[in-house]
Chain A
């Protein structure tokens, strides 16, 4: 059973909104929407683990941390995300990280 971690991402949220619209307009049943989301979980986990190859570094100051139920939650301030091609600066970033089976899987919000 794959992590449902990625449902609260830009991609995942867009999917959920679309599914809700279809349910509203009676084009699909809620059970189908649930199945779609489960498939999304499998797909995104597999894609991040296997397909995505690029590497990003980030550095910032740690504001808070938490570890509970094997889930790490960090809040960093004044973070620089550095990829070979470009640099992105943010004031605040929240990182939620779950234990990866093969490699670490995480998402940023």
Chain B
């Protein structure tokens, strides 16, 4: 009886009120061991003997194994109990016994012969596994994305002079730089458009904004009469920044910012005495977050105490 509380959640479902079950329908058939060719037969041995057997078994084994076996027994016993109860219901047998069977799983049968536990994974953890608590707490600070650089291929050759003459907010100085520099206000970004059809989009604050902006530039080029497509959009670099909110001590005379090149993830961090941190070199947002979580405990160690 005392084992009722230790039922894992999935087995507790088996102890649900009988009203949920329709006689004759093997709703617990998925719990049947597949392929064994065996259907659990209600064992007609007396209840008291089963209890004694189980108690002996418990005393002999270690707790984990004991619990494992208990679970197996309970589950298969519960299954058998269901079969018993349904068969009893069907035959309109002693219905008084049925609630007993569900209240105390141990009063039911011994483990069915020949059945092997085919569900090791739900059975083995007796207690819910708590995720390992990290040694240090998370910083609670989230780096903010400041700049995203992305590239896309418009898929056709472009006449930059035409674009510069007809598009708004465009600069083209081929003597200085062989691309048209175009800007849009929403999202506030700058694009470098090359005659090959390739384009670089900078200045967006999020991945989605960068993509949206690149699409807007592609539409401008398309409206000027070029067969522009939107091929191979890729985010090349992401820059984030945050503040650890405490001063950091190192040698600021050498360089106002410390350059920390993290190996994994491959991110470059600029760390300043004020406690501001700039992270760059990421291809995905998660790398920025991960790099900051890696550096935060290190920075705490270098906290300026004066």
Contacts and interface: CB of A to CB of B under 8 A. Distances in A.
Contacts of A70: 173
Nearest to A63: B168
Contacts of B168: 64-66
A: contact size bracket: under 10
Interface residues of B, number: 10
B169 A68 contact: no
A60 to B, nearest CB: 16
Interface string A56-96: 00000000111110100000000000000000000000000
Contact of A65 (B161, B165, B169, B173): B169
A67 B169 contact: no
A67 B167 CA distance: 10
B250 interface: no
Contacts of B167: 66
A66 B164 contact: yes
B226 interface: no
DSSP majority for the B interface?
A: mixed
Interface of B: 161, 164-165, 167-173
A68 B181 CA distance: 11
A64 B173 contact: no
5 contacts: A64-B168, A66-B168, A66-B171, A68-B161, A68-B165
Interface string A7-32: 00000000000000000000000000
B172 A64 contact: no
B289 to A, nearest CB: 37
Contacts of B172: 67-68
B54 to A, nearest CB: 86
6 shortest A-B CB distances, which residue pairs?
A: A67-B171, A68-B164, A64-B168, A68-B172, A68-B165, A64-B169
B179 to A, nearest CB: 13
Nearest to B167: A66
Nearest to B172: A68
Contacts of B165: 66, 68
A74 to B, nearest CB: 10
A68 B182 CA distance: 12
Contacts of A66: 164-165, 167-171
A68 B173 CA distance: 6
A51 B172 CA distance: 33
Nearest to B173: A67
Nearest to B175: A70
Contacts of A64: 168-169
Contacts of A67: 164, 170-173
A64 B172 CA distance: 14
A70 B168 CA distance: 16
Q: Which of A67, A68, A70 has the most CB of B within 10 A?
A: A68
A64 B167 CA distance: 10
B171 to A, nearest CB: 4
A93 to B, nearest CB: 16
Contacts of B173: 67, 70
Nearest to B162: A68
A71 B7 CA distance: 82
A64 B182 CA distance: 11
A67 B170 CA distance: 6
Given A65-B171, A67-B170, A70-B173, 17 more contacts: A64-B168, A65-B168, A65-B169, A66-B167, A66-B168, A66-B169, A66-B170, A67-B164, A67-B171, A67-B172, A67-B173, A68-B161, A68-B164, A68-B165, A68-B170, A68-B171, A68-B172
